[in-house]
Structure 1
Amino acid sequence: MREIADDLLRWTEAGEPFVVASIVEVHGSAPRGVGAAAAIRGDGTIAGSLSGGCVEGSVHALALEALSERRPRRTSFEYDPNDPFAVGLTCGGNLEVLLHPVHPTTPGERGTADTSEVLAAALRSAGSGRPVALARLVETGATVAVWPEEHLGSTGEDALDESVRAEARAMLEQGGSGLRHLCVPGEPDRERTVFVEAWTTPARMLVFGAVDHAAALARMGKFLGYHVTVCDARAVFATERRFPAADEVVVRWPHDYLSTVETDGRTVVCVLTHDPKFDVPVLREALRGPAAYIGALGSRRTHADRVERLRKEGVTDRELERLRAPIGLDLGGHTPEETAVSIAAEIVALRHGGSAAPLTHTSGPIHAHG
């Protein structure tokens, strides 16, 4: 839902009713995963997409019905090879979609914050980089926003509120989205279904070396949703004007900067300077940290020299196994933009466990959603 946050916030502030259509379950191959969302305003205006066209028409019609009825719906879209006119995914998968009406002028139950207020607060937090989880009761649409130390909204059931908040906080620690089936405390035979979307801070892409390739990679990193930092010790090159796509441009020795920033198992480190006085110290630092991806630009000769220098600096063979160099996949490109695509492709393949092989030479599901 975050990708359509600007539209939803505008509609909420204008007092417009709308429906949020969210994918809550995926079975088999599908264009988008759990948490993908589209929104349909009362006048029929659409923001976002669930399938790139396969089910949009049906979702649009059902959303307007749900908006009129003022209650949520949960519906399935399946591919039926025996019915060419059936609504479903041509890629063969199944989608479960939650249609959640939001009426900004409707107050919540018992004087609590209404759904639109809770939704807007969560989206503003996500937009500012503050981690938040949004929990929606599938049966009623009651909405709760949960932060590490506070919450807003209610399910309308005191016995259920604490369980929903605890589940949302647990998911907030991991990120991701999904359905949760919760027993109502004190009523073991009664279960309620909650859809939780946990929006954590964006993963970081650290690009070292203020070169042309860095400008192209910064644009690609932003496109993939990373918080992008470009760092170089040379102030004449490391300027915001040269890297408008970056979230920040830092003038500092790369290894010194890397030693002071927080990295985690989602962080991407791309070293593009191919100059040993920059490369070796920052790679030594990176290879001893938790980053998910560490790559370095340069020819095979440059890389061989770099490896020998790193070994002399005490970097072990086990640590060197984490280094992806020359950086990127073999796409045959030459320009900075083509190089950025090859780096991004390698990052995506590593993140999702992809083979990076042409799909025409593979079999099985194209989209793996778990």
Structure 2
Amino acid sequence: MLNIADTLHRWCREARPFALATVVDVTGSAPLPVGTSVAVDEDGNAVGSISGGCVEGAVYELCRQVLRDGGASQRARFGYLDDDAFAVGLTCGGELDVLVQRIDPTARPYLAVALSDVVHGRPTAVAQIADGPEELLGRMLYVDANGDTRHDTLSGTVRRELSARARALLRSGRTARAEVGGDAETCPERLSALVHVHASRPRMLIFGAVDFAAALSRAGRFLGYRVTVCDARPVFATGARFPHADEVVVDWPHRYLERADVDARTVVCVLTHDAKFDVPLLRLALELPVGYVGAMGSRRTHEERLRLLREAGVTEERLGRLRSPIGLDLGARTPEETAVSITAEIVAHANGGAGLPLSQGTGPIHRPSVRERPVPVSR
């Protein structure tokens, strides 16, 4: 859907109904990825492509039919036909599952907002139910950059689970399927939603070109972060030492952070444990709207660092944001184990987790979020 956001945004602003055909699953080889869409308005105007041409005609006719009938959403499957490779099907040999639904922008006012976010480059996630009870097919849920949610009519348990999955995918910047429900006690309806995500990868800023930074940069990249390693010492800050980092910067840490592009998803990891770097860097980092600030060092180092930061004018409220010593207590010793400890704390902090063994807890594993705003849809 987001591949044609410009046109869909215009159609929504014009309150123009349209049919939306979206690839919700791919088997084998296919020319375009899951999440790609075609849309057709009531005048027969079409935008987008889902197969590079080989099934466009059939999808176009399905869209026209859905617009004429004004009925329920439909699922269709297109695949390679052995007896006629040039008939309606995928000559590349793969198979596509396509969801076709009618969109009335006046009944989904949040969709224009979501598409506006995409057009203007703001992080956005739109979840679209692709499998489940027929009456729920095509229903949507929108998550904005702040994690606030608007949605079609969905039950509370489905809404909470789907919101949590959408937020997690938005943080990682990935469009993917999300499975929801199937639990007789909490959410008996088994649903599968395609979560369309528009977001640059969140940033992980690692300060200090040390062995721990090499392991952390690898773990951060695995989690989907765009990783920067920064150090003022050119002999240590080299691409050869940090092959998993997206960029390696030679500069004073605080000076680099002053010009860095950060947001609420950004994590700052200070591994230098050297006061001449740490104090000016942390003083700045704790004032910025980043999601996580952690600093490496012993408890004695941490206490001395706090003293110096207080002398530098950092308030207790700001100091309360500092995660130091950095990481969860996993008994880590090696750089690789320490990287797991640090990233575990980052994940727990981002998701509101306690960082305790699940075996020691009670109640649902996935806790509901309080930031949800339902938007009813006329049926």
TM-score strictly above 0.5: yes
1:42 positional shift: 7.2
Q: Which residue of 2 aligns with 1:39?
A: 26
Deviation at 1:198?
A: 2.7
Unaligned 5+ residue runs, structure 1?
Answer: 3-18, 22-37, 48-98, 104-108, 119-136, 143-154, 183-190
Q: Secondary structure at the match of 1:291?
A: coil
Distance 1:197 1:166, change over 3 A: same
Alignment match, 1:257: 256
Query: How much is the aligned-residue C-alpha RMSD, in angstroms?
Result: 3.8
* 1:168 has 2:114 as partner: yes
* Residue 112 (str. 1) matches residue 47 (str. 2): yes
Determine if the alignment matches structure 1 residue 319 to structure 2 residue 306. no
1:85 corresponds to which residue?
Answer: none
Alignment of 1:218-237 (within 5 A): 218-237=217-236
Given that 1:346 and 1:356 are in contact with CA atoms closer than 8 Å, whether structure 2 keeps it comes out as: yes
The one-letter amino acid of 2:73's match is E
> Which runs of structure 2 are paired with 1:1-370 in the superposition (5 Å)?
21=24, 39-41=26-28, 110=45, 112-116=47-51, 139-140=73-74, 160=105, 166-169=112-115, 172=118, 173-179=122-128, 181=139, 197-368=196-367
Please state how far the C-alpha of 1:273 moved relative to its aligned partner.
0.4
Deviates more, 1:230-239 or 1:260-269: 260-269
CA–CA distance in structure 1, aligned partners of residues 359 and 101 of structure 2: 51
SS of aligned partner of 1:310: helix
TM-score (norm: length of structure 1) = 0.57
* Cα distance between partner residues in 1 of 2:52 and 2:105: 20
- Secondary structure in 1 matching 2:48: coil
Tell me the residue number matched to 1:6: none
SS in 2 for 1:294: strand
Shift of 1:163: 6.1
TM-aligned CA deviation for residue 39 of structure 1: 3.0
Change (3 A) 1:160 1:292: closer
Secondary structure of the corresponding residue to residue 258 of structure 1: helix
Contact 1:268–1:292 (Cα < 8 Å) also in 2: yes
Rate the CA distance shift 1:245–1:140 in 2: closer, same or farther, 3 A: same
Q: CA deviation at 1:196?
A: 6.0
Give per-residue Cα distances to partners, 1:115-138, cap 9 Å, x unaligned.
2359xxxxxxxxxxxxxxxxxx99
Equivalent residue pairs, number: 241
Q: State the one-letter code of the partner of 1:318.
A: E
Kindly indicate whether the alpha-carbon contact (under 8 Å) linking 2:37 and 2:48 is maintained by their aligned counterparts in 1: no
Q: Is the Cα–Cα contact under 8 Å of residues 171 and 198 in structure 1 kept in the other structure? A: no
Whole-Å Cα distance in 2 between the matches of residues 178 and 252 of structure 1?
Answer: 41
Give the drift of 1:365. 2.3
- Say if 1:164 and 1:304 are closer, same or farther in 2 by CA, change over 3 A: closer
Query: Structure 1's 230 and 165: CA in aligned 2 closer, same or farther, altered over 3 A?
Result: same
